[in-house]
Amino acid sequence: MKGWEWLTGQTYQTRFVMQVLLKALVLFIAFNLLFAVINPLPAIGRITIYNWLVPGRERLPYGESNAAYNLSLNSLDAMFASHRIAQPKAEDEYRIVVMGDSSVWGVLLDNKDTLSGNLNTAGLNVSNKQIHVYNLGHPIMSATKDLMLINYMLHFQPDLIIWLVTLESLPYPKQIDAPLVQNNAAQVRELIDRYQLQLDRNDSRFVEPDFWGRTLVGQRRALADWWRLQLYGVNWAATGIDQLYKDYQPRSNDFDTDTTWQGFTEAEGLEADAIAIDVLKAGTQTVGDIPILIINEPIYIADGLNSDLHYNFWYPKWAYDRYRAIMAETALDEQWNYIDLWDSITPEEFTDSPVHLTATGSAQLSTQVGNAIINLLQP
pLDDT at 127: 79
DSSP string, 260-281: -BTTB-TTT---GGGBTHHHHH
Run means of pLDDT, 10 residues per run, the chain, 379 residues: 53 66 59 59 90 97 91 96 96 96 97 97 86 96 98 97 98 96 97 98 91 69 92 95 91 96 95 97 96 98 98 98 98 98 98 98 98 88
pLDDT at 37: 58
Map out the domains of the chain with their CATH numbers: 41-377 (3.40.50.1110)
pLDDT at 8: 55
**Distance between CA atoms of 159 and 128, rounded to whole angstroms?**
14
With CA atoms as reference, report the closest residue to 255 among 209, 322, 314: 314
Report yes or no: 63 and 107 within 8 Å, Cβ to Cβ.
Answer: no
**Distance between CA atoms of 179 and 160, rounded to whole angstroms?**
27
List for the chain the helix, strand, coil content (%; round to 5): 45, 10, 40
**Distance between CA atoms of 218 and 196, rounded to whole angstroms?**
32
Q: What is the pTM of this model?
A: 0.91
Which CB contacts under 8 angstroms, 24+ apart, belong to 19-25? none
| Residues 6+ away with beta carbon under 8 Å from 182 | 176, 205, 206, 207
**Distance between CA atoms of 255 and 100, rounded to whole angstroms?**
27
pLDDT at 221: 86
Q: Which helix (H) or strand (E) holds 93?
A: strand 93-99
Helix axes 317-334, 277-286, angle to 10 degrees: 30
Three-class SS of residue 86?
helix
Helix axes 185-195, 143-153, angle to 10 degrees: 90
| Residues 6+ away with beta carbon under 8 Å from 279 | 143, 144, 147, 170, 175, 197
With CA atoms as reference, report the closest residue to 214 among 2, 33, 6, 1: 33
